[in-house]
Amino acid sequence: MMEPFVYPAARLFAGVDEVGRGPLVGAVVTAAVILDPARPIVGLADSKKLSEKRRLALYDEIVEKALSWSLGRAESVEIDQLNILHATMLAMQRAVAGLHIAPDMVLIDGNRCPKLPMRSLAVVKGDSRVAEISAASILAKVTRDREMTELDAIFPDYGFAQHKGYPTAFHLEKLAVLGATEHHRRSFAPVRRALESGSSAK
């Protein structure tokens, strides 16, 4: 059983999580959320373990009830320039900077923290253990999934709405046949191989 999270001494916590480190296309999207203790949200959990219907319902509730929330991102070109780890840290910094209330402490999902102007703590499996991080994971995932659906409408042959840009067999096959779109991450090996062997998609 996962050990429960013990909150450090602080007054106002923001949770931060990211979605989109593994895909071959699109931005890495982050969210920062400060929950309102007076307006609890039931059912917060790791976004990957929730049904899409439940995620969407919780997304609306988080946006309505949170004291403050913000999205951050790093585009595919920034990922190519910085590498995925540094781009993710930048996107997290942008999410925290976008909060209209400054938290005393930021709880980050994972094992490392970006440089921030306030105290921060990395929490392994935080999206399952910390309500604020769970809320951030839901906002980030719903946002990125919607972007992949929009991209699917522009490039219908790639199946972005289904695989969300992850390197599935279908995506890799289409990449090999059709080439890379302008939104693909050129520093990722499967995309690099597709570019070396053929032309980019228009």
- 165-200, pLDDT tens digit by residue? 999 999 999 999 999 999 999 999 999 999 988 755
For 41, the token pair is: 């949200």
- 3-state SS, one letter per residue, for 151-173: HHHHCHHHCHHHHCCCCCHHHHH
- Tell me the pTM: 0.94
Please report the pLDDT score of residue 199 as a whole number.
Answer: 53
Which H or E element spans position 135?
helix 131-154
For 35, the token pair is: 């929950």
Angstrom distances, CA of residue 47 to CA of 36, 58, 114, 117, 198: 19, 10, 22, 27, 36
**pLDDT over 70 percentage in the chain:** 97
Amino acid making up residue 25: V
SS3 of 70, please?
strand
Mean pLDDT of the chain: 95
Distance, in Å, from the CA atom of 138 to the CA atom of 59, rounded to the nearest integer, reads: 6
Distance, in Å, from the CA atom of 184 to the CA atom of 129, rounded to the nearest integer, reads: 33
pLDDT band at 4 (very low <50, low <70, confident <90, very high): confident
Distance, in Å, from the CA atom of 33 to the CA atom of 198, rounded to the nearest integer, reads: 43
**pLDDT over 90 percentage in the chain:** 92
